[in-house]
């Protein structure tokens, strides 16, 4: 009598096979379901657009400077009276205006604004919006778009 002959006679009953298969599939389903649940619960919503921009230390912007802040988009102006900022979003249909020597020009529909942001050619009728600036407690210059 050989060992191989004994091994070949070891069989699993149909009931046990079905139970084993069911358990295996249910376990896999459970793991898959848990993975989906984990993914669902770990989903992070898109952050709201920022309204508060850290521009670094104020000394980076010397008096007399006019700095384009492309990410906002805005123009930061430092004059004798302090900092001010103008939104570079056209008041007609929201395109980003381009800086020109004589002011600003909208590439979408041709509106023009002077250096102070006042509309000088339509279709925009309103001036570019002024944005609030300030220096936070940590000494950082900030621009607020809300």
Partner 1 sequence: MRRYFLPAASIFLLLGLLISAWQESRHPKPIDLTPTLTGQVEYCLSCHSDLAEISSSHPVKSFGCVLCHAGERLALDANLAHSTMRAGKNPSDFSVVQASCGGANCHSGTAEDFRDHIQRATTSIQATYAGAIANIRYTFGVQADLKARLGVFAVQVPQSTSGITELAAFDPLQETNSFILAFGQNCLTCHLSALPVQTGGRYDHFTGCSACHTPTQSASLTSVDTNTATQVHKLTTAISYTQCNTCHNRGNYDLRSMTFQPRSDLPTDRLHDYYQPIAQFTRCEWKLDCVDCHTRTEAMGDGNLYSVKKEIQYIQCKTCHGTLADLPQTRTLTDPNDLAFRLATLNPIIELQLGDTIMVTANDEPLWNIRLMPDGTYEMFGKTDGQRYVFHPVKGSACTQDPAKQDSGSCHQCHSVER
Which residues contact partner 1 (rule: CB under 8 A)?
15, 18, 21-22, 25-26, 28-29, 32-33, 36, 46, 49, 89, 92-96, 107-110, 112, 120-123
Looking at the Cβ atoms of 2 and 43, the one nearer to partner 1 is 43
Q: How far is the CB of 21 from partner 1 (least distance, A)?
A: 6
Q: How far is the CB of 122 from partner 1 (least distance, A)?
A: 5
Report the candidate in 141, 142, 145 with the shortest Cα–Cα distance to residue 129.
Answer: 145
Torsion of CA 57, 77, 143, 51, to 10 degrees: -140
CB 89 within 8 A of CB 129: yes
The end-to-end CA distance of the chain, in Å, is 89
Q: How far is the CB of 50 from partner 1 (least distance, A)?
A: 11
Looking at the Cβ atoms of 83 and 113, the one nearer to partner 1 is 113
């Amino acid at each position: 009598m050989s060992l191989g002959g004994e091994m070949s006679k070891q069989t699993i009953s149909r009931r046990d096979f079905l139970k084993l298969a069911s358990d295996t599939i249910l376990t896999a389903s459970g793991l898959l379901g848990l993975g989906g649940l984990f993914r669902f619960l770990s989903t992070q919503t898109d952050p709201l657009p920022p309204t508060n921009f850290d521009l670094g230390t104020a000394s980076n912007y010397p008096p007399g400077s006019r700095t384009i802040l492309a990410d906002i988009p805005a123009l930061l102006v430092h004059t004798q009276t302090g900092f001010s900022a103008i939104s570079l979003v056209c008041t007609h249909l929201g395109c980003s205006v381009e800086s020109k020597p004589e002011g600003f020009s909208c590439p979408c529909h041709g509106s023009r604004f002077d250096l102070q942001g006042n509309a000088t050619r339509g279709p925009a009728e309103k001036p570019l919006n002024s944005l609030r600036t300030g220096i936070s407690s940590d000494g950082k210059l900030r621009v607020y778009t809300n």
